[in-house]
Amino acid sequence: MDYILHIIILASIYTSLAVSLDLLAGHAGILSISQAAFCGLGAYTSALLALRFGLSFLGGVLGGILTATLFSCLVSLPSTRLRGDYLIIATFAFQVILFNILNNWIELTRGPLGITDIPQPVILGLAVQSQAGFVALAAAFAGFTYFVVWRLAKSPFGRVLHAMREDQVLIQSFRKDANRFKVTAFAVSAALAAIAGSLYAHYVTYIDPTSFTVMESILILSMVIIGGPGSPWGPLVGAVVLVTLPEALRFIGLPSSVAANLRQIFYGALLVIMMMFRPRGLVGRYGFGR
Amino acid sequence: MATIVQLVLNSLVAGTGYGLLAVSFAVVYNVTHFYNFLQAAVYTIAAYIAFTLLTVMSGGAPLAILCAVLGAGLLGGLMELCVYTRIRARTGSPDILLLTSLGLLVALQNCVSLVFGDEVKMLAGWNPREGFSFLGGRITGIQATTVVVCFVLYAAVAWGLRHTSFGKALRAVGSDATLATSCGVNSAQIIVGASFVGSALVGMVAVLAAYDTGLQPTMGFNALLMGIVGMIVGGIGTITGAFVGGLAIGFVQQASAWLLPSKWQDAIVFLTLMLVLLLRPQGILGSAVRRRDV
């Protein structure tokens, strides 16, 4: 039972991450390979704030949001001058640099050893300790992320993002400042990813840099793309499919090292097959980046 | 003085490798216009082909190197023919192609890791790791070979693009595929050919690197990063720019290892990339930024 709850919690956290990335990839049409980096920023900030300064869970989450938003400007700053494939490489570069900082700044992050004994969250005097409590918390966070992205997508702001995805010159001719919209979308997306990261850190109580690698960013992007970018249920479907289906490998009784590789092979192959035969995603309505 | 010579030598060894990688990415990128992350898997697989033939089956070095290079070329060309061509016929979006190549990379790299394991392996046989003195610096046999081979292959590519009919067709497709097709160039064939050549070059660098520092399933990914950074820093669209960019990245990496703890090398290289993207997006030798997708 605990195992099933664990899977539900992981699926909820990945749903939050996929939905947050969908704001950029699906709605604004900006492929970003840096979502794991923002998630890691949130996780490390709230973990360090809790351990070094005894800050509460919500305080840590706020700290994570602030850090991620600040750092998102480092990526969106070039995005105002770059477009298309240059921008993808810029997000990619950010992801690599951030992983290097987490892995090498031993004094702050303890490097590959990771941070242990992260306290479990206490919200308004209520300690969340049981698995069931975490399911509720993670689902609430995923719901919150969904709500934010859904509201933004329906708002005039979202309509400008959609227009920008289709034709950037057109919206500039309507005197909309495309750069401002890009920077805002990046900041919101990073902040939402940071929340998911904080939750992850306080759930597993141990984080190390290997949870926030380039491959993890590619996995989150795959969830959005496989589910269906820019569609209401796409990121949810993608996250649930990519979290639960590989779990089936566990029941065949393979050694864990083989299972880890097979899981990755499954992600990769699924992404290729989807791109070849159904580029708009499982439940998506329109394909990414035409 | 000795440290300066050593720094220059180290930069040359690292830089020529990155330079040829950047050139091989540029050869493919210039005609396909998307970042083909598959090249990282090609790199890894080429190295492991050499490993299988040399260490596992204890075969001869020339045959192993030939098989690795040809295998790399065939893998790149086949994927172009079987996967990318089909997708291009449907959408033609560079983003879809990039995502596909990411999927291929993840799947293939993990296949290698599944078969061979994650620990560092070494190539058996010819093993010229003993160093010799050169103007007060030290360089090993394989490092000197890397420098020479990479320079020669770069020169061959640059010459071939100017003076062979395949090279001319390749440049024509790169600048305008529709126009080239209407002039009787078979664009699809040229793109497959470019993928073959580019991937074979990647395979050559991979074998040299495997001789020097051993093999690991993640080796291709790191190499790909340096190659892409070199290509962008040098200036997209020019072969010489790509090679110069690779040399520059090698120098930045070695110089930073000299001044800072070497663990920061990657971060410094990517910081350089960010700065180049911000301050001079066209790269060192590139002309104005391509505005195709405005």
pLDDT digits (tens, 9 = 90+) for A79-118: 677 666 778 888 888 898 899 888 888 778 787 788 887 7
The answer to whether position A109 is within a domain reads yes
Could you tell me which chain B residue has the CA closest to the CA of A25? Answer: B95
Percent of chain B with pLDDT over 90: 27
The answer to whether position A124 is within a domain reads yes
Within 55-74 of B, beta carbons closer than 8 Å to A belong to none
The answer to whether position A236 is within a domain reads no
Could you tell me which chain B residue has the CA closest to the CA of A215? Answer: B106
Q: How many residues does chain B have?
A: 294
> Which has the higher per-residue pLDDT, A257 or A47?
A47
Taking an 8 Å cut-off on Cβ atoms, the answer to whether A271 and B103 are in contact is yes
H/E element, A4: helix A2-22
Taking an 8 Å cut-off on Cβ atoms, the answer to whether B106 and A268 are in contact is yes
Report how far residue A260's alpha carbon sits from residue A255's, in angstroms, rounded to the nearest whole number.
9
Burial annotation A224-258 (CB, 10 A radius, 16+ → b, else e): bbbbbbbbbebbbbbbbbbbeebbebeeeeeeeee
The answer to whether position A183 is within a domain reads yes
Write out the residue range of the structural domain in which residue A132 sits. 2-212
The answer to whether position B44 is within a domain reads yes
Could you tell me which chain A residue has the CA closest to the CA of B233? Answer: A86
Q: What is the pLDDT of residues A111-163, one digit of tens each?
A: 778 888 777 777 766 777 777 888 888 898 899 999 998 888 888 888 888 88
pLDDT value, residue B200: 94
Taking an 8 Å cut-off on Cβ atoms, the answer to whether A288 and B96 are in contact is yes
Q: Is the dihedral of CA A33, A38, A41, A43 positive or negative?
A: negative
Angstroms from A61 CA to nearest CA on chain B: 27
The answer to whether position B289 is within a domain reads no
Strands (E), chain B: 131-134, 137-140
Could you tell me which chain A residue has the CA closest to the CA of B92? Answer: A290
- If one counts every other C-beta atom within 10 angstroms of the C-beta of residue B251, the result is 18
Beta pairing, strands B131-134 & A126-127? unpaired
Chain B residue numbers touching A265 (CB-CB < 8 A): 106-107, 110-111, 114
- What do you get for the CA distance between the two ends of chain A, in Å? 44
Angstroms from B72 CA to nearest CA on chain A: 20
Chain A residue numbers touching B90 (CB-CB < 8 A): 279
Q: What is the pTM of this model?
A: 0.88
Give me the interface pTM, i.e. the ipTM: 0.85
- B48 has pLDDT over 90: yes
Chain B residue numbers touching A96 (CB-CB < 8 A): 225, 266-267, 270
Could you tell me which chain A residue has the CA closest to the CA of B91? Answer: A290
Q: What is the pLDDT of residues B66-121, one digit of tens each?
A: 999 999 999 999 998 888 888 888 776 788 888 899 999 999 999 999 888 888 88
Angle between helix A35-53 and A57-79 (nearest 10): 140
Q: Which amino acid is at B190?
A: I
Taking an 8 Å cut-off on Cβ atoms, the answer to whether B107 and A264 are in contact is yes
Chain B residue numbers touching A36 (CB-CB < 8 A): none
- Say whether B134 sits in a helix, a strand or coil: strand
Chain A residue numbers touching B110 (CB-CB < 8 A): 261-262, 264-265, 268
Read off the tokens for A290: 């035409």
pLDDT value, residue A16: 92
H/E element, A287: none
Taking an 8 Å cut-off on Cβ atoms, the answer to whether A85 and B96 are in contact is no
The answer to whether position B147 is within a domain reads yes
Q: Is the dihedral of CA A112, A116, A119, A121 positive or negative?
A: positive
Name the residue among B99, B232, B270 with its Cβ closest to that of A97.
Answer: B270
The answer to whether position A169 is within a domain reads yes
Angstroms from A55 CA to nearest CA on chain B: 30
The answer to whether position B132 is within a domain reads yes
Taking an 8 Å cut-off on Cβ atoms, the answer to whether B35 and A276 are in contact is no
- What do you get for the CA distance between the two ends of chain B, in Å? 49
CB-based contact, B279 to chain A, within 8 Å: no
Chain A residue numbers touching B105 (CB-CB < 8 A): 268
> Which has the higher per-residue pLDDT, B156 or B291?
B156
The answer to whether position B285 is within a domain reads no
Query: Is residue B278 within 8 Å of A86, Cβ to Cβ?
Result: no
Write out the residue range of the structural domain in which residue B216 sits. 2-279
Name the residue among B106, B108, B225 with its Cβ closest to that of A267.
Answer: B106
Query: Is residue A269 within 8 Å of B107, Cβ to Cβ?
Result: yes
The answer to whether position B89 is within a domain reads yes
Taking an 8 Å cut-off on Cβ atoms, the answer to whether A265 and B111 are in contact is yes
- How sure is the predictor about B129, in pLDDT bands with cuts at 50, 70 and 90? low
- How sure is the predictor about B291, in pLDDT bands with cuts at 50, 70 and 90? very low
The label of the residue with tokens 């305080």 reads A59
Taking an 8 Å cut-off on Cβ atoms, the answer to whether B96 and A86 are in contact is no
- Say whether B245 sits in a helix, a strand or coil: helix
CA of B114: how far to CAs of A220, A245, A261, A265, B46, in Å? 22, 19, 6, 10, 16
Angstroms from A37 CA to nearest CA on chain B: 14
Q: What is the pLDDT of residues A154-189, one digit of tens each?
A: 888 888 888 888 777 788 788 777 788 888 888 999
Could you tell me which chain A residue has the CA closest to the CA of B96? Answer: A275
Mutation target vs A (from B231, B277, B278; most A CBs, 10 A cutoff): B277
The dihedral over CA atoms of B32, B35, B40, B42, expressed in degrees to the nearest 10, equals -10
> Residue A37: how many CA atoms within 13 Å on its side-chain side?
23
Number of domains comprising chain A: 1
Name the residue among A104, A261, A287 with its Cβ closest to that of B114.
Answer: A261
The answer to whether position A44 is within a domain reads yes
Taking an 8 Å cut-off on Cβ atoms, the answer to whether A88 and B98 are in contact is yes
The answer to whether position B270 is within a domain reads yes
The answer to whether position A226 is within a domain reads no
Angstroms from B242 CA to nearest CA on chain A: 15
The answer to whether position A264 is within a domain reads no
Name the residue among A84, A97, A275 with its Cβ closest to that of B87.
Answer: A275
Q: Is the dihedral of CA A81, A87, A89, A94 positive or negative?
A: positive
Angstroms from B246 CA to nearest CA on chain A: 16
Q: What is the pLDDT of residues A198-212, one digit of tens each?
A: 989 888 888 888 889
Q: What is the pLDDT of residues B172-222, one digit of tens each?
A: 888 888 888 888 888 888 899 999 999 999 999 999 988 888 898 888 888
